[in-house]
Copies of this chain bind each other. A is one copy, B any other.
C-alpha cells in the first residue's frame, strides 16, 4: 500500500479519463476508459480509488478472479522536451455490491460538467450495480508523482 501524492490526487479528481486495465481469463489485457474518483481521508493510506458499474461488466468479472488493476491518466502538462505527463496507478481491487447510481451521478458531474443521464436512457429505478474500490500499491508514469 502507498499514499497518493497530492499531485496524483488532483489529477485523479480533475475529470480526466482513466484507461483501466484488468486481466482476461486467457491472461491478455482488457482495457476500457472509465470515470474514477477518490474516497477516504485526504492524507491517509486508506484513500481508495473508486469506479461504478451498473452491470457486471467484463472488468468486474475479471477483478473478482484477479484483483490486479492498473489506471493510466494523461495530465495537461508536458516536460522540458515536450513529453506529456501521465500517471500510472497499480492497485488491488475489491468489488462491492450496490451504490453504483449514486457514484455515477457524482462522477458524472465531474466528467461531463452536468447531470449525467444514467443509461439506459435513464431508467426510473437503476440497478444498484457495483462499486470497485482500489487500494493503491504503486505509482508510476512521468510527472511530479514520480
Contact = CB atoms under 8 A, between A and B. Distances in A.
B21 A117 contact: no
Query: How extensive is the interface on chain A, given as a class?
Result: 35 or more
A83 B142 CA distance: 26
A31 interface: yes
Contacts of A68: 28-29
Interface in A84-101: 84, 86, 88, 90
A84 to B, nearest CB: 6
Q: How many copies does the complex hold?
A: 2
A82 B111 CA distance: 8
A47 interface: no
A114 interface: yes
A31 B119 contact: no
A33 B141 contact: yes
A27 interface: yes
A23 to B, nearest CB: 7
Nearest to A18: B19
Nearest to A32: B88
Interface of A: 17, 19, 21-23, 27-29, 31-33, 66, 68, 70, 72, 74, 78, 81-84, 86, 88, 90, 108, 111-114, 116-117, 119, 140-142
